[in-house]
Amino acid sequence: MDEQDQSQPNQFSSETLDPIAQMKHAAMLERLSNLHRSRLQQSASRRTDSAAASPAFESVHSFLDRFSDSKRSIEADLARCRALASDPASAPNLKPELEKVSASIADLDRLVAENSYFLPSYEVRSSLKAISELKEALDSANSELMPRKKFSFKNKASRKDPCVLVQQIDEIKVLDAEKSNPGGVRDSPGFRNKENAVLVKHFRVSEEGEGNFSLSDLNSCEVYLKGRIRALFVHRLRNCRIFAGPVQGSILIEDVNDCLFMLSSHQIRIHQARATDFYLRVRSRPIIEDSNGVRFAPYRLFYKGIDEDLKDSGLGEETGNWANVDDFKWLRAVQSPNWCLMPEEERVGTTNSSDREEQCDDE
């Protein structure tokens, strides 16, 4: 009973037991330490295995080892980033470091996803939670250490220099190719920035294939487009009259006041139109948005060859859709107050644009 005071049970046994028992005891200790060593080795090799070959061998244990290792290293990296930020000299390194952390978090995420099929749901849940905490930590570090630039409006380089206003489409094309601004964005062919002019363009398929065309910033102009186009964009027109042949794709109209449009197309979208009349032939239902005082009537345009052009564009037949207007600002069953059908007596007669010649031919 005296020996109870001794803290070391080994000593206790070695001192009190006979030699045979002592030998047995030593052998057992050796076996135990061998076992322990081999276990250590195993776990070390498992760790290198799992690092080399992923996914790991469906072992929850090795997954958790690996997960916590990466988690610790990510946390250490984050802490290092914060240390970096306090030192102005190393500030340029900060961004790549943070990106590295973000990439390692993504890797960790993938690790969980790859192993999720054998992990108990608790482990999946807790790993996902740990990842989302890491992400939050990264986000807050990001926003603290690398505050985003405040949003502000900048003066863009003006799109078009008034002195190079071109008279001929060909010229526009060449200029656009040359002028393409730093963003690499070029303007499509079209009539732009004109006042009190009569503008005529004849699209010949063989000549330039089927492209798109724009009408923008026109004031008090009369525009005649003959032949087929794929798409038509209309923007900022005041007091204009537009007569266009078939458009095989869609027409997009934005911001027009006091105009008359005669158009045929597969789709027509009208935005911010005021006091404007539309003479349409459309395959689908035309729509208006943010518009008022707009009126609709059927298409009445003639030029030599228009019937063929219409047929080739799939617009040979009148569908009656010119009257089926959807108003996105009036989603109710009753008639929208923003548009109406035009009384027959107020409609213009068939417009004949056969005699209209292209400007470039005149000059």
Partner 1 sequence: MGLLSIIRKIKRKEKEMRILMVGLDNSGKTTIVLKINGEDTSVISPTLGFNIKTIKYQKYSLNIWDVGGQKTIRSYWRNYFEQTDGLVWVVDSSDVRRLDDCRMELENLLKEERLSGASLLVFANKQDIQGALKPSEIAKALNLDALDRTRHWKIVGCSAYTGEGLLEGFDWMVQDIASRIYVLD
Name the site residues for partner 1 (rule: CB under 8 A): 99, 102-103, 105-106, 113-114, 116-117, 121, 124-125, 128-129, 132, 183-189, 208-212, 214, 216, 230-231, 233, 235, 249-250, 252, 266-267, 269, 271, 283-285, 287, 289-290, 314, 326, 328-329, 331
Nearer to partner 1, 239 or 250 (CB): 250
Nearer to partner 1, 32 or 103 (CB): 103
Nearer to partner 1, 36 or 204 (CB): 204
Nearer to partner 1, 104 or 353 (CB): 104
Rounded least distance, CB 115 to partner 1, Å: 8
Rounded least distance, CB 208 to partner 1, Å: 7
What tokens appear for 55 in the block? 């996914």
Rounded least distance, CB 321 to partner 1, Å: 8
Note the Cα 112 to chain centre separation in Å. Answer: 28
- 213: which residues sit within 8 A by CB, 6+ positions away? 188, 189, 190, 201, 203, 225, 229, 231, 232, 233
Rounded least distance, CB 244 to partner 1, Å: 16
Secondary structure class of 299 (helix, strand, coil): coil
What tokens appear for 162 in the block? 């008034």
- 236: which residues sit within 8 A by CB, 6+ positions away? 216, 217, 218, 254, 255, 256
Rounded least distance, CB 214 to partner 1, Å: 7
Rounded least distance, CB 104 to partner 1, Å: 11
Contact 187, 205 (CB under 8 A): no
Contact 359, 225 (CB under 8 A): no
Rounded least distance, CB 148 to partner 1, Å: 11
Contact 281, 196 (CB under 8 A): no
User: Rounded distance, CA 359 to CA 363, Å?
Assistant: 6
Rounded least distance, CB 232 to partner 1, Å: 10
Cα dihedral value 323, 329, 333, 339, nearest 10 = -30
* Residue that the structure tokens 């923008």 belong to: 216
Nearer to partner 1, 99 or 307 (CB): 99
Sign of the CA dihedral 180, 184, 188, 193?
A: negative
Nearer to partner 1, 252 or 306 (CB): 252
Nearer to partner 1, 47 or 269 (CB): 269
Rounded least distance, CB 42 to partner 1, Å: 27
For residue 9, whether the previous peptide bond is cis, meaning omega lies within 30 degrees of 0, is no
Nearer to partner 1, 46 or 269 (CB): 269
Contact 279, 262 (CB under 8 A): yes
User: Rounded distance, CA 255 to CA 58, Å?
Assistant: 62
Nearer to partner 1, 55 or 298 (CB): 55
Contact 81, 94 (CB under 8 A): yes
What tokens appear for 357 in the block? 């010649």
